[in-house]
Amino acid sequence: MSRFKSICIIDDDPICVFGIRKMIEQVNFFNDITVYSNGLEAIQDFKKKLDENLILPSTIFLDLNMPIMDGWDFLEDFKKIPLEDRKNVQIHIVSSSVDSRDFTRANGYKEVNNFFTKPITKENIDRVVEEIHLS
């Protein structure tokens, strides 16, 4: 199986980050894992990468509830990035929220590929890998 370039996890919960990281490492599909503790850190780094003509991570696991900049604000700022720079990025929400309004709201973003409820499972990771293969 070929490996995909990079992935990022945007989540302030170190236990969740640890779990996602371990499952990603088990599938041995991604070359690089970057972690941000809030959306602002991620957006600032993405803008810096683009200024340096680097590409954005291919896959993002995004929490919704974080301090400083939450997942919703991240999505709004992410949409402002030129389509050409973000068109191959998949965003997978990973949230502890079981509120159907969050799921509905997330489905309103064409940038969002999936909505997973924490804790993320190996099956969720396998689904992401399968979707990448199909895209």
- pLDDT tens over the chain, length 135 residues: 444 568 999 999 999 999 999 888 887 767 789 999 999 999 999 999 999 999 999 999 999 999 999 999 999 999 999 999 999 999 999 999 888 999 999 999 999 999 999 999 989 998 998 887 766
The two tokens of residue 103 are: 């799921």
- Cβ–Cβ under 8 Å, residues 92 and 128: yes
Residue 54: give its domain's CATH number. Answer: 3.40.50.2300
Number of domains in the chain: 1
Range of 67's domain? 4-134
Query: pTM score > 0.85 for this model?
Result: yes
DSSP 65: -
Please report, for residues 44, 114, 119, 128, the alpha-carbon distance to residue 124 in angstroms, rounded to integers and kept in the order given: 28, 9, 10, 6
